[in-house]
Chain A
Amino acid sequence: NAGVMQNPRHLVRRRGQEARLRCSPMKGHSHVYWYRQLPEEGLKFMVYLQKENIIDESGMPKERFSAEFPKEGPSILRIQQVVRGDSAAYFCASSPRTGNQETQYFGPGTRLLVL
């Protein structure tokens, strides 16, 4: 059973470009979470999605960031017009059901570097 897959593992962008980060949840999981880890910081929650629905986006920056989890295909975290401060590791997690006691299974992360 494959784990949570994220790609690319490393992404380099110049300021002003767009970054697209992909997350394929574990088989049978319909709940996806995105977290961001800035250097020397812990992971910070960004957004929680179910298929075709955004459940909680309270951790998403107000501008330039968006997320989706379509009926078919991976979840996408999109960052428009990237700035140097967006450089971070972005982790995706998935769970089979909703509920605070559901274990979240994490992917390997995407390391974004903005030049």
Chain B
Amino acid sequence: AQSVSQHNHHVILSEAASLELGCNYSYGGTVNLFWYVQYPGQHLQLLLKYFSGDPLVKGIKGFEAEFIKSKFSFNLRKPSVQWSDTAEYFCAVNALRGNNRLAFGKGNQVVVIP
């Protein structure tokens, strides 16, 4: 079974600071990778996804993520955060040969101080 690790559950930073959230997964086969975001009081929304091709993926709102196969990682980055980026961020994985089910990490609670 796949498992997903996200470290530093709580992250507090100031506006304009850079953000990097780590995501590591354990699965030996080919995977699809996702980052979802949940803003306060809202539902989960897709930020970006990686299936194949260029390992650097651009998402919405200035986010990007890099897939490093050798490290089983899919870290999320944003060079300069805004107060509106305050949210919970979830990394998720599904196996190419799986049955659509997503395996989620525990999430990163990010608070941006204006």
Contact = CB atoms under 8 A, between A and B. Distances in A.
B90 A48 contact: no
Interface of A: 3-4, 31, 33, 35, 40-45, 48, 55-56, 58-59, 91, 93, 95, 98-109
Nearest to A55: B99
Contact of B100 (A4, A41, A48, A108): A48
Interface stretch (B12-20, B64-72, B101-109): B101-109
A42 B103 CA distance: 9
Contacts of A43: 90, 92, 102, 104
A110 B13 CA distance: 30
Contacts of B44: 91, 93, 106
A101 B104 contact: no
Nearest to B30: A100
A101 B33 CA distance: 9
A95 B90 contact: no
Contact of A3 (B6, B43, B101): B43
Interface in B73-108: 90, 92, 94-96, 98-107
